[in-house]
Amino acid sequence: MVTTIGMGLATDRLDVDVVDGFAGMDMVREFAVSGVPTVVLDDRLSLENPSPDGSLLDFVLHAADRSRPAPAVATVPFMGCGRLPS
Amino acid sequence: MELGRGPASFFDDVDRSYVVAQLEGRMDAPVELTVTARRSSPLAITPAAGAEEAARAERLARELAALEPRIGVTVTGEGAGDVPALTVASRASAGSVRFVGVPRVNLFRALLEAVRRASTGDHGLPPGWAEALHALPQAVHARVFATPT
């Protein structure tokens, strides 16, 4: 979580919301979050329990530029709520 | 509520000592905490949804500011939903971070860390990450789901 916070502070190109899962249950349901921490990018890409290594940055770079390959770690479309990748 | 008495403090003495230990002498630039919350008149028979948590969020921000003079507080109802939010920003950092919900326990520790990092501009990222983020071809919105414990 602190790595993502640092990423959000470092640039105005990445808007970071830290969501208390208990307070934001509507969002937890909407994005089918089943464990914490989970990072959801642009409402469509989800990464559970991200480690503060390069995969988190790769994940953000992939979200900003879909021509970049998805990192090997989980990039799971939210098929359950219709948010399929374009 | 007893007439003539304000709401109970958000922090106890242990919390206050913790906040001071985490922030005293560890900040540089001022930090602005913006509380986005739906306010409700204490005269209302039926308070607005989320009004109690909104009041807690505002109290938390104001008590933090009372402990650390480099923290300023703005409260706005514009764009507020049922869940209050606290945004951490500083001129020392290009970006900001928003906490959705009143941050407690681990999330409160994360809030203090965000305040410190925003103030110092030391974001704790590996070499090259900040440059890569500045070069993002389009803005990205990240939601980090966490729990207090």
Mark yes or no for CB contact A3/B95 under 8 Å: no
Mark yes or no for CB contact A21/B143 under 8 Å: no
What is the arithmetic mean of pLDDT over B49-72?
Answer: 93
| pLDDT attached to residue A35 | 83
Backbone φ and ψ for A69, nearest 5 degrees, come out as -65, 145
Render pLDDT for B30-40 as a digit per residue (tens, 0 to 9). 999 999 998 77
The pTM of the full predicted model, rounded to 2 decimals, is 0.88
Domain containing A64: what range? 2-81
Q: How many helices (H) and strands (E) does chain A have?
A: 3, 4
Interface test with A, best of B140, B141, B147, B149 (most A CBs within 10 A): B140
Compute mean pLDDT per 10 residues along chain A, 86 residues long, and list them. Answer: 94 96 87 87 86 81 87 50 34
Instruction: Judge whether A86 lies within some domain.
Output: no
Q: Does B110 touch chain A (CB under 8 A)?
A: yes
Local structure of B54: helix, strand or coil? helix
- Domain residue spans in chain B? 13-134
With a CB-CB cutoff of 8 Å, which residues 34-73 of chain A face chain B?
Answer: 36-43, 54, 57, 60-61, 63-65
Contacts of A28 in chain B (CB under 8 A): 145
Q: Which residues contact A62 (CB under 8 A, 6 or more apart)?
A: A45, A68, A69, A70, A71, A75
Question: Domain B13-134 falls in which CATH fold?
Answer: Glutaredoxin (3.40.30)
Instruction: Judge whether A20 lies within some domain.
Output: yes
Nearest Cα to Cα of residue B99 among A49, A11, A22, A59: A22
**Host H or E run for residue A64:** helix A54-64
Render pLDDT for B92-104 as a digit per residue (tens, 0 to 9). 999 999 999 999 9
Q: Specify the number of domains making up chain A.
A: 1
The CA distance from A67 to A69, in Å, is 6
Nearest neighbour of A20 by CB, restricted to B107, B118, B123? B107
Contacts of B130 in chain A (CB under 8 A): 10-11
Cβ-Cβ pairs closer than 8 A, A with B, add up to 182
